[in-house]
Amino acid sequence: MGGVVVKDDSPRHTWIPETKLESKLAEAIRRREAEGCAIKSFNSIILKFPKIDESLRKCKDIFEQFDEDSNNTIDQEELRKCFQKLGVSFTEEEINDLFEACDINGDMGMKFNEFIVLLCLVYLLKHDPTALHAKSRMGMPNLEATFETLVDAFVFLDKNKDGYVSKNEMVQAINESGERSSGRIAMKRFEEMDWDKNGMVNFKEFLFAFTLWVGINDSEDEDEGEEKV
Ligand SMILES: [Ca+2]
Ligand SMILES: [Ca+2]
Ligand SMILES: [Ca+2]
């Protein structure tokens, strides 16, 4: 009641993942979706925002630790060392793909927000359902719990469990929350997430939007006066 009704305007054509990494991520999400979802309402996601925010900000320490030359950017070399330290192994190609996928501003480095998204994708990719609820995959239990919440939030939104959130699914999720004004908010949130405007939001887009919503962006450190080209 009180929500907006949206015509089914989702694209009819089959969704084709653009890159190998993208299809791997969608696959990982679908695997995770098969395990079920602990989140029961959109409101409960909203209620988790402050905690997620706090946890992601703590991730700054990790970022600084791996940013060896302290230029506020994690380059490929630093990232390789980071993976080594965390004990996660990827092929060269996978590292390049991850790096490219998360280098949203195209400066050949991971800014803080890009790094958070990258780590969360790593978390998802390294999720091994056979390792029955292993305590920690990357040696960062608190952060991993937050990543799990983010994965869970996405799984909650993806009603038909195809690995992508469509506009209708977003509206449906928010309508279920029973708030009168929430339909418009759902649409706005969706527009913010759907960067390439193809009517679908993948997990990576969702994560980037999330870092924005909780107020993490890469401009926070620019008071240090560095101007990069
Ligand atoms: Ca660096
Ligand atoms: Ca970048
Ligand atoms: Ca879906």
Which residue type sits at 22?
A: E
Query: Residue 16: pLDDT above 60?
Result: no
Residue 85 belongs to domain spanning = 19-29+39-220
**3 part of a folded domain:** no
Task: Look at residue 61 and tell me if it is in a domain.
Answer: yes
Q: How far is the CA of 176 from the centre of ligand 2 (A)?
A: 36
User: Is the alpha carbon torsion for 143, 149, 150, 152 positive or negative?
Assistant: positive
pLDDT of residue 211: 87
Task: Give yes or no for residue 106 having a pLDDT over 80.
Answer: yes
Strand-pairing partners, residue 166, are: 200
The reply to whether 14 falls in a domain is no
State the ligand closest to the CA atom of 105. 2
**Distance from chain centroid for Cα 163:** 13
* 186: pLDDT strictly greater than 90: no
CA separation for the pair 1, 177 (Å, rounded): 10
pLDDT of residue 124: 94
Nearest to 98 by CA among 126, 129, 134: 126
Q: What is the pLDDT of residue 114?
A: 95
- Quote the pLDDT of residue 174: 77
Q: Is the pLDDT of residue 41 over 70?
A: yes
Q: Within a domain: residue 228?
A: no
Count of structural domains, the chain: 1
Is there a domain that residue 132 lies in? Answer: yes
15-24, 67-76, 162-171: range with lowest mean pLDDT? 15-24
112-125 helix and 92-102 helix, angle to the nearest 10 degrees: 130
Q: Which ligand is nearest to the CA of 208?
A: 2
CA 155 to centroid of ligand 3, rounded, Å: 9
Structural domain includes residue 10: no
How many angstroms does the Cα of residue 224 sit away from the middle of ligand 2?
17
**Whole-number pLDDT of residue 218:** 63
Reported as a pLDDT band with limits 50, 70 and 90, residue 226 is: very low
> Does a structural domain hold residue 216?
yes
For residue 123, report the distance from its CA to the centre of ligand 2, in Å. 19
Mean pLDDT rounded to a whole number for the chain: 83
Residue 97 clears pLDDT 60, i.e. is over it: yes
Give a three-class secondary structure readout of the chain.
Answer: CCCCCCCCCCCCCCCCCCCHHHHHHHHHHHHHHCCCCCCCCHHHHHHHHHHHHHHHHHHHHHHHHHCCCCCCCECHHHHHHHHHHHCCCCCHHHHHHHHHHHCCCCCCCECHHHHHHHHHHHHHHCCCCCCCCCCCCCCCHHHHHHHHHHHHHHHHHCCCCCCCEEHHHHHHHHHHCCCCCHHHHHHHHHHHHCCCCCCEECHHHHHHHHHHHCCCCCCCCHHHCCCCC
Q: Which residue has the tokens 């791996």?
A: 66
**Among the bound ligands, the one closest to the CA of 165:** 3
Lowest mean pLDDT among 28-42, 74-88, 135-149: 135-149
Residue 70 lies in a domain: yes
Ligand 1 centre to CA of 112 (Å) is 11
- CATH number of the domain residue 167 falls in: 1.10.238.10
Q: With pLDDT > 70 as the criterion, what percentage of the chain qualifies?
A: 79
Ligand nearest to the CA of 30: 3
Distance 160 CA to ligand 3 centre (A): 5
Predicted model pTM: 0.82
- Using CA atoms, how far residue 147 sits from 123, 144, 222, in Å, is 7, 5, 26
Cα of 120 vs centre of ligand 3, distance in Å, is 20
